[in-house]
Amino acid sequence: MAEPAAEYDVDLLIIGAGPSGLFAAYYAGFRELSVAMVDSLPEPGGQVTAMYPEKMIFDVAGFPAIKGRDLVTALVEQAAQAKPLYLLGRQARGLSEVGDRLVVTLADGTSVRAAAILITAGIGEFRPRPLPAGDGWLGRGMVHFVPSLVAHQDQDVVVVGGGDSALDWVLALHPIARSVTLVHRRAQFRALPSTVRQVRELGVSIIVDAEVAELRGDDLGLQEVDVLVKSGDRTTLAAQSVVAALGFLADLGPIESWGLDLDHRAVRVDSTMRTGRDRIYAAGDVAAYDGKVKLIATGFGEAATAVNNIAVALNPGAHLFPGHSSNAG
């Protein structure tokens, strides 16, 4: 006989356990709200954990530079003060209203009843753009993200792509790999000019107007890569690893059917971070308004704004300004 699906009841359900969601969980605890966090990924941290845990982040206030995984570790530790219920590896699907509660059903049948919802889903659910020549090589020498730089120590690495992620991986891998070659199908890069300049100054091999045509190896793994240049020349590179950083495809999944005002892959909000639906708010990259700048730092401020306004919405007698955290404890 199947076990009944789990049911939970909280003041605030946060959908998305990335940096904005984790900071929102801390703030919910500061406002004495019980909180649950749902994310389709198996670990907290969102895109930072899934895509660039080893990269240095330079625009988080108070940190001249901090590694992605270290930022997530600190945010999880901070959020722990709120004792959040983590429901990870589960997609949020259905939304209904029962009395004064919003009820969200998850892919595994779990249901969460909440007085309010805060969507911090980032860019939504994402999947990497495939490398056509890499079919069958994922996990056998080809990766889309680099969760551990050490895994590429003393390897010949080919990075494919021309955006910020691709060039950031070149910068990160250069000190540890035996060699790094960057392959891009155009002559111009989409990455920041300052990043392109840094990569060129490293002296790594850069092949433009070219595509990876074939990956070859044996049962032990990848051994070499063929690169076809638009001129017709074909070059063979030694490679034990290919990082296919070609961007990703993303959508909000079932959230798109929740009756919210959508703006491309984002949700329109007002100055309180409230969506067009009562008691549903959004913060971080998923929130859209005129003049929006998508930064981790922006998401932190939006999370605090949302939670404080949620606290007042749930208890009209509460003050919007929560007081200074330095006075707590």
| pLDDT tens over the chain, length 329 residues | 445 679 999 999 999 999 999 999 999 999 999 999 999 888 899 888 877 787 888 889 999 999 988 999 999 999 999 999 999 989 999 999 999 999 999 999 999 999 999 999 998 877 788 999 999 999 899 998 887 889 999 999 999 999 988 998 999 999 999 999 999 999 999 998 999 999 999 999 999 999 999 999 998 899 999 999 998 999 999 999 999 999 887 778 899 999 999 998 899 999 999 999 999 999 999 999 999 999 999 999 999 999 999 999 999 999 999 887 777 65
Cα atoms found within 13 Å of the Cα of residue 287, Cβ hemisphere only:
35
Helices and strands, counts by H and E, the chain = 6, 22
Residue 1: the pLDDT is 46
Residue 326: the pLDDT is 72
Residue 26's φ and ψ, nearest 5 degrees, are -60, -45
Residue 4: the pLDDT is 64
- pTM (two decimals): 0.79
Residue 329: the pLDDT is 57
DSSP label at residue 92: E
d(CA 87, CA 114): 14
Residue 286: the pLDDT is 96
Work out the burial of residue 323: count CB atoms within 10 Å of its CB; fewer than 13 is exposed, 13-18 middle, 19 or more buried: exposed
Helix %, strand %, coil % of the chain (to 5): 25, 30, 40
CA torsion through residues 285, 288, 292, 298, sign: negative
Are 52 and 128 in contact by the 8 Å Cβ rule? The answer is no
d(CA 134, CA 239): 13
Cα atoms found within 13 Å of the Cα of residue 320, Cβ hemisphere only:
4
Q: Which residues pair with 38 in a beta bridge?
A: 15, 87
d(CA 109, CA 115): 20
Q: Which residues pair with 57 in a beta bridge?
A: 66
Per-residue 3-state assignment (H helix, E strand, C coil) for 88-152: ECCCEEEEEEECCEEEEEECCCCEEEEEEEEECCCCCEEEECCCHHHCCCECCCEECCCCCHHHH
CA 279 to chain CA mean position, Å: 25
The amino acid present at 209, given as its one-letter code, is: D
d(CA 46, CA 21): 9
